[in-house]
Structure 1
């Protein structure tokens, strides 16, 4: 039997594999954390709604028509699409920008390459995510829930506000996700590089299992930084999607909401998000790099 032909680096098959890896890494992980995300979003919108996460889950489970998995479908679809764009385009832009400046400058300014590639990838990925993020947040933060399914939410929002209604949170979403992804990728690459430098051996001397273990650790550390950098915008995304009036401009809505909640309000729910995002990011890098190893590609970072 002929051996399977390996995937050539930076080929169409390579970028396709990275795109699929992003879907596998992001869709299941984000949706698995729906119960935690649900309570986080509701507490961001109304800090007095639940005394704690546990109390919130108990209340939800006792409420007819409510569920701790409310928003699961929109989360899975939205973040699967976002993961495809985020990881696939990141690999593409990282190679493209590196080639544009040449190997010497790419090595010297590689953190700048990582940041630029991540920002470009996330800008495009959020165009796919935004409609489903809008449906998710609107459904999760409305009691009783605004919609019974992704299709129901899509129909209700577009019937009232048109397609533009699905993109009313694109500004705050970019403000949240672009810095988040820039930190996620750049800090991951640098953290993994530092871990291998500390261990004192080249990446190739470690087994694939050990390499993916490093990916998880680097991802978790990167996730902590991500959570802190993007949290104020995360709060505003929740507030905009639940509280923005149809006739109100984005700028006016942001000004009004910030006037209501103040500086302290934009940091509401940060400890929960650090745990959530740290775990999420760690497992995403673990799954993504495990998938790359499975299809015969090297892990990310440290090479």
Structure 2
């Protein structure tokens, strides 16, 4: 049976984006079942031997939709995974805030939980934690990068260099307003699950039970104190991180950032994040106590929280464990976020201050 060459009608088995025919020379093409020698390119209809694929040199363009998409996905991983990992600390912290007579300290709090609920009880509420903070992280980091660029362009080169800290603050505050709308329903269910044993096993049964008890609007009962906690926290987190990283490269690291290894840059990101996290915990702690109190008690008000806990209690109750938790959390978040950016070919966050424009 005679062989018929149907190559012109075949669908190629190798996707087009994996090869570049421009890289082939006429001396390396096999065509029409003949091992080629140097030949006239005009008689070559269509090569089907391709050059070995090379590593793609394509990079994500800064401030393109792909860039913001990468930052958004990095935020999902950095916030969702880290908050889920520290669920035991968060669980003890919330219960110390709600019932300080029973949960007197970190060590005794873990002891009470272990005795009453076993080791599995340490991760009660991990599903709403993972989903809620993944959604929050996506909005927090993605919109921060967007608003930072937007406000920088709005200010112009000279003012952007002069007022860069204000741009960091404005960008992070704008992003967090949106991020908390995504987080609030999950946070409401999480606190109820963690501080009321027997209320629900997790999100799947806790969410409908919460809605039946307080209505869908009840999921957003804590949005104002959540903004009160998270907006100052995020403003401190991003602005202080950017400032700390800039100072580390300026005064501690002897090599300019663009000449440092990726591992050094990621180490700076973690250190800057941890130090920023300590400041975040102190600034946002009173509002964190309010969020826990309001989500735990049906019909409670801010005045009720102040009367019961006192101003000093709002500022200090559960603060040491929150410093440990938030410092570690924030350092890990910046480490994961910048690691993902490096993985996709983007620069790490922060660094030297932009040069002042030439007048």
The whole-number CA distance in structure 2 between the counterparts of 1:53 and 1:84 is 31
The whole-number CA distance in structure 2 between the counterparts of 1:30 and 1:210 is 25
TM-score by length of 1: 0.95
Aligned in 2, Cα 1:64/1:105: closer, same or farther, shift over 3 Å?
A: closer
In structure 2, the residue matched to 1:117 is 171
Q: Output one character per residue of 1:64-108: Cα deviation in whole Å (capped at 9) or x when no partner.
A: 587011111111000000000000000000001101111111111
The whole-number CA distance in structure 2 between the counterparts of 1:127 and 1:89 is 13
Any stretches of 5+ residues in structure 1 without a counterpart? none
In structure 1, the residue matched to 2:306 is 258
In structure 1, the residue matched to 2:340 is 291
Q: Output one character per residue of 1:151-186: Cα deviation in whole Å (capped at 9) or x when no partner.
A: 211101111222111110000000000000000000
Q: Do the aligned partners of 2:294 and 2:302 also contact (CA within 8 Å) in 1?
A: yes
Q: Which runs of 4+ in 1 moved over 3 A?
A: none
Any stretches of 5+ residues in structure 2 without a counterpart? 1-52, 353-359
The whole-number CA distance in structure 2 between the counterparts of 1:37 and 1:45 is 12
In structure 1, the residue matched to 2:326 is 277
Paired residue total: 296
The whole-number CA distance in structure 1 between the counterparts of 2:281 and 2:341 is 25
Q: Do the aligned partners of 2:274 and 2:330 also contact (CA within 8 Å) in 1?
A: yes
Structure 1 stretch displaced more, 61-70 or 114-123: 61-70
The whole-number CA distance in structure 2 between the counterparts of 1:40 and 1:145 is 19
Instruction: List aligned pairs for 1:220-259, cutoff 5 A.
Output: 220-245=274-299, 253-259=301-307
Q: Output one character per residue of 1:175-227: Cα deviation in whole Å (capped at 9) or x when no partner.
A: 00000000000000000000000124321110010000000000000001000
Q: Say if 2:99 is the partner of 1:40.
A: no
TM-score by length of 2: 0.80
Root-mean-square deviation over aligned CA pairs:
1.3
In structure 2, the residue matched to 1:73 is 127
Q: Do the aligned partners of 2:199 and 2:206 also contact (CA within 8 Å) in 1?
A: yes
The whole-number CA distance in structure 2 between the counterparts of 1:45 and 1:51 is 11
The whole-number CA distance in structure 2 between the counterparts of 1:231 and 1:187 is 17
The whole-number CA distance in structure 1 between the counterparts of 2:268 and 2:198 is 40
The counterpart of 1:175, out of the listed 228, 253, 271, is 228
Q: CA deviation at 1:52?
A: 2.4
Instruction: List aligned pairs for 1:34-183, cutoff 5 A.
Output: 34-64=87-117, 67-142=121-196, 144-183=197-236
Q: Say if 2:246 is the partner of 1:197.
A: no
Q: CA deviation at 1:42?
A: 0.4
In structure 1, the residue matched to 2:48 is none
Task: Please give the secondary structure, in 2, of the residue aligned with 1:63.
Answer: helix
Structure 1 stretch displaced more, 54-63 or 260-269: 54-63
The whole-number CA distance in structure 2 between the counterparts of 1:197 and 1:82 is 32
Greater helix proportion:
1
Q: CA deviation at 1:2?
A: 4.2
The counterpart of 1:3, out of the listed 55, 72, 81, is 55
Q: CA deviation at 1:244?
A: 3.6
The whole-number CA distance in structure 1 between the counterparts of 2:195 and 2:328 is 23
Q: Do the aligned partners of 2:74 and 2:138 also contact (CA within 8 Å) in 1?
A: yes
